[in-house]
Amino acid sequence: MLKIALAGNPNSGKTTLFNALTGSKQYVGNWPGVTVEKKEGRIKGQKEVRLIDLPGIYSLSPYTLEEVVSRNYLLDEKPDAIINIVDGSNLERNLYLTTQIEELGIPMIVAINMMDVVNKNGDKIDCSKLSKSLGCPVIPISAMKGEGISDLIEQAVSVANTDKTTDLSKRFSTQVENVLSEIQKQIPNEIEEKQRRWYAVKLFERDEKVIQQIKKSTKIEALVNEMEMAMEDDSESIITNERYQYITSLIQNCYQKKSKSKISTSDKIDRVVTNRFLALPIFAVIMFFVYYISITTIGDLVTVFTNDTLFGAWISETLAAWMETIGVSTWLIGLTVDGIVGGVGAVLGFVPQMFILFAMLAILEECGYMARVAFIMDRIFRKFGLSGKSFIPMLIGTGCGIPGIMASRTIENESDRRMTIMTTTFMPCGAKMPIVALIAGALFGGAWWVAPSAYFIGVAAVIISGLILKKTKMFAGKPAPFVMELPTYHVPTLGSVLRSMWERGSSFIKKAGTIILLSSVLIWFLSSFGMVDGSLQMVENMDESILAVIGGWIAPIFAPLGFGAWQSAVATIMGLVAKEEVVGVFGVLYGVSGDALELVEEGSYGELGAISQHFTMLSAYSFLVFNLLCAPCFAAIGAIKREMNNAKWTWFAVAYQCVFAYVMAFMVFQFGSMFYGTFGVGTIIAFLLLAALVYLLLRPYKKRSSSRAEVNDDLCYQKG
Ligand code: GDP
Ligand code: MG
């Protein structure tokens, strides 16, 4: 069995190539001890070859989790060959890693990917010359189009069967090479001949992890010091410079870039979009329109239709009438029409809005704008201790919190990662959209600002939490630098937008058929039956139902937030099952045949409009704030637990979210009431909370004793 590892920069196309080579024969897991994704697979048509997709990295230094994982795998597991995948449209930058991989003493083959882009740009890469200079095979491919990959794998297998490594003794300037060969002589014998170049370079760079492994003799340190004096630079920078000089000489013979005299359209757009002053306002306006259009205008039209007409009238009335004619008992009609159609229908009714929202977000991502936003947000997030990397999970979290939480894996600094996991679900996920749409439509008459405000409440909650948490000892420390390539803008393809929309949206439809269906049946039973004269009976008045009793116990908790009715308490609690359930519960409770229908005004979300009997605009907004910010659904809490890999942190996260949501909703309601002229104990408590919040936001930062390197070790990195 041959082991071939796939290594390359992030976004060089590793995953695309991996999928093309392995097809369905793959296995996804985690690297031992850390939550970095590990992908392994068998190559199609080559039974005896195992392919490993390593995390994307820019270098083999020990600074990020991905780098540590990759290099330990390469050093300890010694795969039979490495396919170094290189983004041909970004040749110079990608070759930096190549110059490090070749030092490992493992047979290497270079795959120049994205050849379709290179050709389209009119650039030329001479692969045979490059191959000669590097001393290993260089194969042009396009992973996306599947071009050149069979040739690649054939050559990779033949390289893996040899033991061929390249002579690297003339890569750097003579001065540096001389010192490196001196160092090599000092390396203990247990290190294989082939790996000595790597260890020599790392010892020269004073790589901490290598020094822990090999005792560094004073002789080596003296050599390095001498070199540093002579070149007036630190040893790590000396090597970096040497690598770039080598790459420049490589590229001179093998690479011709079509000269671009004028700045590209992308750059022109970026001048405006990432402008220091305009960037944020532009982003705010774009997100405002995304939410305004998908929830309030177009979305509202579709949802009113699906809720009022499709589920509210056509389906439920037809179904009820038909069931009556065939003589089905009343309770079963109630269960079907009020329970199932009411609950599931209420949720499905909002699916069109979700799809429009997801399509618009997909367009923003595909065209390259969202990458700029991460860059813009980095500037802001940095001010309160998070990096732009934290924004990516939040971006993904606007679809569903679970992949959002999982995306936090790319953050190497542990406290940043924990903080991101804790705050990602503040962003309104797709399943929270029905709550927003319902409140906006049924209580605010579709006011323009309600839906976009949900998004900005999420962003504000993240920022406020970031500021508060960073000032505690637990989360202190500087955020890691954020490096990201900005792809050129391009028009998204219809196919990819639709695919992304479907990927994010289809799970909601599936949930409607399973978890929402079950919950709806349960809620219907609990709300239709009650204890009358000591026996369980169907009750006419919902307020006598079991659900009302249970809800009545919980409701006082929410009374200070303005929504003390048992119905809203039940809806909030059921939101833990799935956030769609918040609306689903109201759907069941006000099922079309229920007595609530008379209370409903025309055109206000069908029977769901009946929620207006429990809310004022103010308490509805407080309800919205609480449900947006409190603990996410069980599935997302599960994801938090997996990523935290620790029960205490999980509970802390959930408790923090609930307390934060409660405090915010409390202040919204109490201060709001004050403006309507109510002043009481609640108002005073609200002022005290506000003062506490201001204190937490403004107090000075705590120092963290451990250094960056220790933090990296914290990441429960385990060897072997
Ligand atoms: P990874 O981060 O190295 O795993 O990179 P991915 O496989 O996720 O690819 C990054 C992006 O490059 C994706 O959007 C791919 O569709 C795209 N991509 C990959 N290979 C090619 C290629 O050969 N040509 C073009 N044009 N795009 C590619
Ligand atoms: Mg990948």
Task: Choose among 361, 359, 353, 246: nearest CA to 307.
Answer: 353
Q: Are residues 117 and 201 in the same domain?
A: no
Task: Choose among 339, 346, 341: nearest CA to 538.
Answer: 339
CA of 16 to the centre of ligand 1 (A): 6
Q: Please state the atom number of ligand 1 nearest to the C-alpha of residue 17.
A: 7
CATH classification at residue 201: 1.10.287.1770
Q: Are residues 18 and 125 in the same domain?
A: yes
Q: Are residues 114 and 138 in the same domain?
A: yes
Task: Choose among 64, 74, 153: nearest CA to 109.
Answer: 153
Q: Are residues 152 and 211 in the same domain?
A: no
Alpha helices in 341-449 (DSSP H): 342-348, 351-366, 369-383, 391-397, 401-407, 414-424, 433-442
Q: How many CA atoms lie within 13 A of 118 on its CB side?
A: 21
Pairing of strands 2-8, 81-87: parallel
Q: Is 121 in the pocket of ligand 1 (CB under 6 A)?
A: no
Q: Are residues 10 and 87 in the same domain?
A: yes
- pLDDT at position 598 is 38
Q: Is 12 in the pocket of ligand 1 (CB under 6 A)?
A: yes
Q: Are residues 9 and 153 in the same domain?
A: yes
43 belongs to a structural domain? yes
Q: Is 15 in the pocket of ligand 1 (CB under 6 A)?
A: yes
Task: Choose among 11, 21, 39, 257: nearest CA to 139.
Answer: 21
- pLDDT at position 79 is 94
CA 294/CA 601 separation, integer angstroms: 24
CA of 429 to the centre of ligand 2 (A): 24
Q: Are residues 8 and 145 in the same domain?
A: yes
Q: Are residues 140 and 13 in the same domain?
A: yes
671 belongs to a structural domain? no
Domain boundary among 127, 160, 193: 160
Q: Are residues 188 and 89 in the same domain?
A: no
CATH classification at residue 28: 3.40.50.300
Which of 6, 9, 11 most suits a substitution to test ligand 1, by most atoms within 8 Å of the C-beta? Answer: 11
Q: Are residues 154 and 41 in the same domain?
A: yes
Q: How many CA atoms lie within 13 A of 428 on its CB side?
A: 29
Domain boundary among 193, 226, 256: 256
Exposure b/e, 503-526, CB count within 10 A at least 16 = b: ebbebbeebbeebbbebbbbbbbb
322 belongs to a structural domain? no
Atom 24, ligand 1: residue with shortest CA distance: 114
Q: Is 56 in the pocket of ligand 1 (CB under 6 A)?
A: yes
Pairing of strands 37-43, 46-53: antiparallel
CA 423/CA 409 separation, integer angstroms: 14
Give, for 4, the enclosing helix (H) or strand (E).
Answer: strand 2-8
Q: Are residues 202 and 144 in the same domain?
A: no
599 belongs to a structural domain? no
Q: Is 116 in the pocket of ligand 1 (CB under 6 A)?
A: yes
Could you tell me which residues are beta bridge partners of residue 4? 51, 81
CA 75/CA 84 separation, integer angstroms: 15
Which ligand is located closest to the Cα atom of residue 37? Answer: 2
Q: Are residues 83 and 232 in the same domain?
A: no
- pLDDT at position 466 is 87
Cβ atoms of 269 and 149 closer than 8 Å:
no
134 belongs to a structural domain? yes
Q: Please state the atom number of ligand 1 nearest to the C-alpha of residue 18.
A: 7
Instruction: Spell out, as residue ranges, where the chain has pLDDT lower than 70.
Output: 24-25, 28-35, 259-263, 312, 410, 480-481, 483-485, 591-607, 702-720
Q: Please state the atom number of ligand 1 nearest to the C-alpha of residue 19.
A: 7
CA of 11 to the centre of ligand 2 (A): 7
User: What is the SS3 assignment for 112?
Assistant: strand
Q: Is 13 in the pocket of ligand 1 (CB under 6 A)?
A: yes
Q: Is 143 in the pocket of ligand 1 (CB under 6 A)?
A: yes
690 belongs to a structural domain? no
CA of 59 to the centre of ligand 2 (A): 16
CA of 13 to the centre of ligand 1 (A): 4
Domain that holds residue 31: 2-160
Q: Is 371 in the pocket of ligand 1 (CB under 6 A)?
A: no
352 belongs to a structural domain? no
Number of domains in the chain: 2
Q: How many CB atoms lie within 10 A of CB 261?
A: 4
Q: Is 11 in the pocket of ligand 1 (CB under 6 A)?
A: yes
Distance of CA 545 to the CA centre of its chain: 42
Domain boundary among 110, 137, 160: 160
- Output DSSP code: residue 559: G
228 belongs to a structural domain? yes
Which of 144, 367, 500 most suits a substitution to test ligand 1, by most atoms within 8 Å of the C-beta? Answer: 144
Alpha-carbon separation of residue 358 from 128, 130, 432, 572 (angstroms): 45, 44, 13, 24
